[in-house]
Amino acid sequence: MPPRRILLICLRRLGDVLLSTPVARSLRRAYPDAAIDALVFASTAGMLVGNPDLRQVIAWPDGASWRTALRTAWPLRRRYDLALAVTPSDRAHYLAAWAAPRRYGNVQSGHEQRWLLNGSLVYSPDALHTVTQNLRLAAAYGVPPVPEVVPPQPSSLGALTRVLGAGWEKVRWAVVHPNAMYRYKGWTLEGWRVLLRALELRGLHVAVSGGPGVAERDYLDTLLKPLRGSPGIVDCAGRLSFAEWTPLLRHARLFVGPDTSATHLAAACGTPTLAIFGPSSPLAWGPWPQNWPGTGGSPWQLQAPLQQIGVVAIVQGGPAGRYGNCVPCLAEGCERHRDSVSDCLEQLSVTDVLDAADQLLDGRAPR
């Protein structure tokens, strides 16, 4: 008997939530009459605004006390026929077992809580892209995969008009997201400044994206201070939700950003997207190209300095041979912690980034 009520659990970061949407789409195609809900952290629920495959989004409080967690979890008890936990964590597995008699989940190798699940798939970021991993979990239950990342949708374009002005859709836009969540994923301030100026000189208006957090705001203030007189550079950070960015990204001629959720969103919108990667694995975390058929373990390979699929490109590590076999090293920076510097990003030249950006702008094949 097909499930009537399904719970999709993804208790991780923004990018993880966005990359779980192909599972929701696959479930919707397989079970068009089912009620499909998603359980995500409250801070990531914005990635699912307007998602047509979901009945509702249940927000799990970030940093919840056990009392708050119990109040949130209690109404879920045996409410569903099927639960899929794409997050390979104990909490996700216990919630799946609490919510449904049939439950499937991604698990870490050697995980002790497999007994909570009717079926499981070992989490393998060294071999599978996150989208592929999640779709294979759904396939373990017999759901045919639909490898389509679904962006959030706003209810109106009012916020974009307020921030960018009337007639924004008649302007040639680029979107640049300079800030990375962790230092080891970040490019240089001067690199971003030169890129912003260069895109403006190419006749583009540049919308600078970012979140409302204090640290990110301080970073962008430092970055943009020398550029405040540039009429074609618009600081939009903290002024638009993820859903409100979607129409602009679909309209934009180019997006440039680091390994972060905004880059995944741009690729999902079909925007010509340039991802600036350092030591991270593109195989597991490269932006999922729109219309990619989902064949193989990943669209991407562990290679540098440039790879491109359709209108999505990854530049990583600078000119070939500069770092030997170092890039991508898959470590958290050269000092092996999240606040570490990554030499491959510190030394990545603006020329390399602009060459890749120009290829996307011109519609040329990668060199």
Residue 126 sits in a domain whose CATH number is 3.40.50.2000
Is 225 buried (19+), middle (13-18) or exposed (0-12) by CB count in 10 A? Answer: exposed
Q: What is the per-residue pLDDT for 201?
A: 96
Q: What is the per-residue pLDDT for 1?
A: 85
Give how far Cα 15 sits from Cα of 59, 106, 234, Å: 16, 17, 24
pLDDT in tens, 226-236: 998 899 999 99
How many whole angstroms separate alpha carbon 286 and alpha carbon 301?
A: 9
Same domain? For 232 and 291 the reply is: yes
Same domain? For 350 and 278 the reply is: yes
How many whole angstroms separate alpha carbon 92 and alpha carbon 279?
A: 28
Backbone angles phi, psi at 275, to 5 degrees: -100, 125
How many whole angstroms separate alpha carbon 270 and alpha carbon 273?
A: 8
- Residue 239: pLDDT over 90: yes
- Residue 50: pLDDT over 80: yes
pLDDT in tens, 138-171: 999 999 999 999 999 999 999 999 999 999 999 9
Structure tokens that stand for 250 in this block? 């679909």
Amino acid identity, position 274:
L
Closest of 70, 92, 65 to residue 7, by C-alpha: 92
Q: Which of 85, 106, 140 is the last residue of a domain?
A: 140
Does residue 29 lie in a domain region?
Answer: yes
Closest of 39, 43, 37, 36 to residue 14, by C-alpha: 43
Same domain? For 308 and 176 the reply is: yes
How many whole angstroms separate alpha carbon 51 and alpha carbon 228?
A: 36
Q: Could you give the 3-state DSSP secondary structure of residue 79?
A: coil
- Report how many domains make up the chain: 2
Q: Mean of the per-residue pLDDT values for the chain?
A: 94
Same domain? For 132 and 162 the reply is: no
Q: Which of 91, 111, 140 is the last residue of a domain?
A: 140
Q: What is the per-residue pLDDT for 366?
A: 58
Does residue 151 lie in a domain region?
Answer: no
Does residue 177 lie in a domain region?
Answer: yes
> Dihedral of CA 343/346/352/353: which sign?
positive
Is 230 buried (19+), middle (13-18) or exposed (0-12) by CB count in 10 A? Answer: middle
Does residue 146 lie in a domain region?
Answer: no
Under 8 Å between Cβ of 17 and 48: yes
Beta strands 173-176 and 254-258, pairing class? parallel
Backbone angles phi, psi at 194, to 5 degrees: -65, -40
Q: Biggest alpha carbon distance in the chain?
A: 63
pLDDT in tens, 66-87: 899 999 999 999 999 999 999 9
How many whole angstroms separate alpha carbon 266 and alpha carbon 108?
A: 29
Q: Which of 114, 140, 166 is the last residue of a domain?
A: 140
Q: What percent of the chain has pLDDT over 70?
A: 96
How many whole angstroms separate alpha carbon 245 and alpha carbon 152?
A: 9
Same domain? For 53 and 21 the reply is: yes
Does residue 153 lie in a domain region?
Answer: no
How many whole angstroms separate alpha carbon 233 and alpha carbon 262?
A: 18
Number of residues assigned to the chain: 367
Same domain? For 89 and 182 the reply is: no
Under 8 Å between Cβ of 113 and 90: yes
Q: State the residue range of the domain holding 251.
A: 158-362
pLDDT in tens, 267-326: 999 999 999 999 999 999 999 999 999 889 999 999 888 999 999 999 997 555 455 567
Structure tokens that stand for 37 in this block? 């809900």
Q: Note if the bond before 226 is cis, omega within 30 degrees.
A: no
Q: Could you give the 3-state DSSP secondary structure of residue 180?
A: coil
Does residue 65 lie in a domain region?
Answer: yes
How many whole angstroms separate alpha carbon 121 and alpha carbon 105?
A: 7
pLDDT in tens, 101-152: 999 999 998 766 678 999 999 999 999 999 999 999 999 999 999 999 999 9
Same domain? For 319 and 180 the reply is: yes
Does residue 325 lie in a domain region?
Answer: yes
Q: H-type helices in 89-164, by residue range?
A: 90-99, 130-140, 158-164
